[in-house]
Chain A
Amino acid sequence: GESVGLHLPTLSVQEGDNSIINCAYSNSASDYFIWYKQESGKGPQFIIDIRSNMDKRQGQRVTVLLNKTVKHLSLQIAATQPGDSAVYFCAENMKGTYKYIFGTGTRLKVLA
């Protein structure tokens, strides 16, 4: 199982394998979703975003999937590399407010 708060959920992946990081969002009225990568001691770095009128969006080596029925968001990273090791956060934008609500985060560890 996974716990939050004092311990971030951790996903360990072999280098070269694909990674899937999941996120459950809270507000059915949210209309814009973003994935961020955060390395230790640094600010969040934008990875990819998706609007609520889409269910899939692809970037370079990354794909975001949105399932509004169950309020679920996932980030897929293809051919995971050591440089992908970081904490990944999803964020939802509350429609009409421009405010983000961040998920609890997942630590991705890439094993050589």
Chain B
Amino acid sequence: GAVVSQHPSRVICKSGTSVKIECRSLDFQATTMFWYRQFPKQSLMLMATSNEGSKATYEQGVEKDKFLINHASLTLSTLTVTSAHPEDSSFYICSARLTSGQETQYFGPGTRLLVL
């Protein structure tokens, strides 16, 4: 149980285009989902917290207009990288929290974004 999927697993796009990444909890409902970014040989950095039915909360230094997050249902959150540039190339990972009151996060397999 507690499986999280991401789609696509990897994407290559041209500079200036927008890319949407989906995060789904497959066998449970997730009130809260998280989006992380990971550069090569570095740790995971939290970008934003996504709560179903409300606006996402962004971490300091993360541009909310560039990284649009939508959490329209209890099983789906999307991250849209708008007007992507080469410096946005990274590994984007989502996680989902099982139920209210539980801290454990279950992570998706990640999406590799390459902006040319």
Contacts and interface: CB of A to CB of B under 8 A. Distances in A.
Contact of B46 (A8, A45, A99): A99
Contacts of A105: 42-43
Given A36-B107, A43-B93, A104 B43 contact: yes
Given A98-B97, A98-B103, A43 B41 contact: no
22 contacts: A6-B41, A7-B41, A8-B41, A34-B104, A36-B107, A41-B91, A42-B109, A43-B6, A43-B93, A43-B107, A43-B108, A44-B44, A46-B104, A46-B106, A89-B44, A98-B97, A100-B34, A100-B95, A101-B46, A102-B43, A102-B44, A102-B45
Interface footprint category on B = 20 to 34
Contacts of B6: 43
Tell me whether chain A's interface is mostly helix, strand or loop, or mixed.
loop
Given A34-B104, A100-B105, A41 B44 contact: no
Contacts of A46: 104, 106-107
A10 B43 CA distance: 14
A32 B93 contact: no
Contacts of B97: 98
A1 interface: no
B112 interface: yes
B77 interface: no
Interface string A26-55: 000000101010000111111001000000
B108 A93 contact: no
B112 A41 contact: yes
Nearest to B104: A49
B78 interface: no
